[in-house]
Amino acid sequence: MSKERVIIDCDTGIDDALALVLALSRPELDIIGITTVAGNVDVENTTRNTCNVCHFLGRDDIRIAKGESKPLERESLKASGVHGVSGLRGWTFEKNYTDNLVSQDAVSFLCSLLKESDEAVSILAIGPLTNIAKLLREHPEVKDKIRKIVFMGTSYHCGNPTSLSTFNVLVDPEAFRIVAFAGIPFVSCPLELTKTAVITPEEVKMLEQMNTPVATFAASIINSYGITKIKSDEVIGGEGEEEISENRLKAAKEELVTLHDPATVAYVIDPSLFTSAKYYCDVETKGELTTGFTLIDKNDYYKKSDAERNLTLLESIDREKFISLFLDSVRRYG
Ligand code: RIB
Ligand code: CA
């Protein structure tokens, strides 16, 4: 089987960590590097989390580079309410591991990886696209070394956190536009799809019953990730990593949890789990209320040619096969 050469760009929060659990166990992928970006939490935390998770998964062979601390033109937006202040609510690593962190910044690391690779590389972008847009703007000469960009984000009739935009686009819509019109094959895993890519409480229990360090880690952060609307009386403690009350944790264990980033990674591992179609896509960057809205021209209103249809939109996923792929990947760590 030929491996697909991949770089992962992430804003490691909880679902990014789960995506790393999936990706780093797969023989189908040759992960030549990981870059981090500000998103769910600040770039110091996303970088620390990424280094710790890769070490925890036994992948000290993978080099990591710290990326942009804020969007191209806007102030930062965070999602620490969903992922916790650290970005990995539900888990604390005993100590931080940094031997896998290179001194280069993400953009120069990405540029070196692409120039040194003797074959085209797919970029798996599961955070805001700031690093990738900066790379394309500053080093257009590497475009032909990028096989495709697979992105978690876009939506066409729902949104998260606003009712019309998805977080990874809303944080940096200018970056999204640069990537969408770079002329590189661009695949997006929209919120409409990831909302169906859920893990059930019964499947989380299967993780817990594996009783291995990685399975316990995955189950613990999944149970935390379900805690999206914490009421003030459910948080114990003040600043820093809030503790969640037992009763809230119990309630969270009854919720379906959406695996946005792992579903996006699954496409690179096994595209047969998905259906897709090509559309013209652009993004609102000036709207007072609609900034971050991705226009996906499903009605063909703009009558674009095939060549102008710049987005391959993933439209459905076989959830059962996706979850068994995820559970199988967790088992591979022993
Ligand atoms: O909307 C969900 C996406 O935004 C995921 O990638 C999550 O990690 C956040 O980055
Ligand atoms: Ca992410």
Q: Per residue in 109-126, pLDDT tens?
A: 999 999 999 999 999 999
**pLDDT above 90 as % of the chain:** 85
- Residues of the chain above pLDDT 70, percent: 93
Q: Is 306 buried (19+), middle (13-18) or exposed (0-12) by CB count in 10 A?
A: exposed
Establish whether residue 281 lines the binding site of ligand 1, counting it when its CB lies within 6 angstroms of any ligand atom.
no
Active site residue 157: no
Predicted pLDDT of residue 232: 52
Residue 102 scores a pLDDT above 50: yes
What distance in Å separates the CA atoms of residue 330 and residue 57, rounded to the nearest whole number?
10
Is the predicted pLDDT of residue 70 greater than 90, yes or no? yes
> 3-state class of 65 per DSSP?
strand
pLDDT at residue 66 is higher than 70:
yes
- Kindly tell me if the per-residue pLDDT of 32 is higher than 80: yes
Is the Cβ atom of 165 under 6 angstroms away from ligand 1?
A: no
Report residue 19 CA to chain centroid gap. 7
CB 16 within 8 A of CB 34: no
pTM for this model (two decimals): 0.94
State the CB neighbour count (10 A cutoff) for residue 2.
Answer: 7
The residue to mutate among 8, 16, 151, having the most atoms of ligand 1 within 8 angstroms of its beta carbon, is 16
Q: How confident is the model at residue 254 (pLDDT cuts 50, 70, 90)?
A: confident
Query: Which residue segments constitute the domains of the chain, with CATH numbers given?
Result: 4-331 (3.90.245.10)
Tens of pLDDT along 140-197?
Answer: 999 999 999 999 999 999 998 899 999 999 999 999 999 999 999 999 999 999 999 9
* Ligand 1 pocket, residue 223 CB under 6 Å: no
Question: Rounded to an integer, what distance in angstroms lies between the CA atom of residue 61 and that of residue 250?
Answer: 37
